[in-house]
A and B are shown apart, each in its own frame.
Chain A
Amino acid sequence: MLSSGKKSTFRGGKMKISLNINNYIRNIDIEPGDVLYDVLNKLGYTSVRNSCDTGCCGTCTVLLDGEPVPSCSYLAVKADGKSITTIEGVKEEAEKINNYMLNEGAVQCGYCNPGFILTVIAMKNEIKDPTETDIKNYLVGNLCRCSGYVGHLRVIKKYLEAIK
């Protein structure tokens, strides 16, 4: 657990799991108590960031079989055999969204952005023509302390309009 003092810990030896990370199948040794963030961080995915350690802020979001989950809380063993998408796995789409972000001035410290963009992509895949309420509801679990959220909303609307 690189990032924090996790309180509940699992004793016991190593386990082997298989994860399909961005279309690359990896067999990984984990400790039973490892969460996805621990695994991804050890593998060098610096775009996956731990912030609140309680699943509340969305910064650590990755897509598990296409669905957003908090990697800081999701036990790695439960992800065995599944596919994980980090922002590297959706590079083109992420760059597109990020260009809108940059043109709106909506990127500030950048720390929450990968998790935010992944969630936007998941929303776009799940909901056709989301309303402003749909957008806010889907993204409410992605906190941002820098931007005030309004820039994000402008970006998402422009992006959704463009991909119609």
Chain B
Amino acid sequence: MEKEDGTIIGGGAFLHLGKRNINSAVDIRKLGLNFIRENEENIEIGAAVTLREIEKSNLLNKYFDGILGKTVSCIMGVQIRNMATIGGTICGKYGFSDLLTTLLALNAQVVLYKIGIISLEEYLNGNIEKDILLRTEIKKGNINAKYLNLKNTSTDFSILNAAAANMDGKCRIAVGARPGSAKLCYKAMEYIDKEGINQESVKKAGEIAAEELKFGSDIRSSEKYRKDICSVLVKRALLEVEK
């Protein structure tokens, strides 16, 4: 960890697509971080847990409308999901990530070796110094959650994705693959808090979300298209989490 160019390997799914020379690497799988467990308050997922383990976990599928399993099952194929880890996803801060959007909507917290516990949002947005991710924690509760995306082929990265979580009447809305990484739609969330979820309000909330977020163009989509479908995905996600 002290070496400047030391690299931590999660699943290694994207490792060999990079152009780096790596002199030393640490495999965290042997640190015992591959647990999925719960205590009274939280669900805890170790950093080395693979996406496929999340998908198949009976424990996780009991909570949050099974949104975690439903989200990861959209990602590429079982082969990659047997390799890629939640730790790799979070630390990679990938824009294309589907899981980050859902975790953000669920208000996930990340536990780091040096710093301790911070919100996922802070981790994604802040300039956190080099650290080791130990686990992710999600507070249990009365939560309806929905994840949606729009893709070219079904194993492509999302052109846009969205997740909504309704926690005892308070909604969190996240949009990702903008192509930038997932962000919460605070203005839309504020609006829904005031108006509640109905056919009219979700439409407006979608439009607010599309206005407040920034989008970009890449080989998959133009900025305009992402903005256009943001309002639709947010609207649809909210409709599904109505209590």
Contact = CB atoms under 8 A, between A and B. Distances in A.
Contact of B76 (A6, A56, A75, A122): A56
Interface stretch (A18-26, A61-69, A147-155): A61-69
B23 A12 contact: yes
A8 B7 CA distance: 12
A12 B22 CA distance: 9
Interface string B1-44: 00000000100110111111111110101000000000000000
B69 to A, nearest CB: 12
B17 A78 contact: no
A138 B56 CA distance: 12
Given A73-B16, A140-B77, A68 B82 contact: yes
A107 B82 CA distance: 27
Interface string A122-145: 100000000000000111111000
B25 A10 contact: yes
A67 B52 contact: yes
A114 interface: no
B23 A137 contact: no
A142 B80 CA distance: 11
Contacts of A75: 9, 12, 15
Q: Assign chain A's interface to a size class.
A: 20 to 34
A8 B19 CA distance: 5
Contacts of B77: 56, 58, 139-142
Contacts of B21: 8-11
Interface string B203-229: 000000000000000000000000000
A134 to B, nearest CB: 11
A61 B16 contact: no
Interface of B: 9, 12-13, 15-25, 27, 29, 52, 73, 76-80, 82-83, 154-155
Contacts of B23: 10-12
Nearest to A75: B12
Interface string A43-76: 0000000000011101001001001111001110
Contact of B13 (A11, A55, A137): A55
A111 B235 CA distance: 44
B78 A138 contact: yes
Contacts of B83: 55, 69-70, 73-74
Contact of B18 (A7, A11, A67, A140): A7
A8 B20 contact: yes
Interface in A10-36: 10-12, 32-33, 35
Given A56-B155, A74-B12, A77-B27, 9 more contacts: A11-B23, A55-B83, A61-B79, A67-B52, A67-B82, A73-B83, A119-B78, A122-B78, A138-B78
A22 B51 CA distance: 26
Given A10-B25, A56-B155, A64 B82 contact: yes
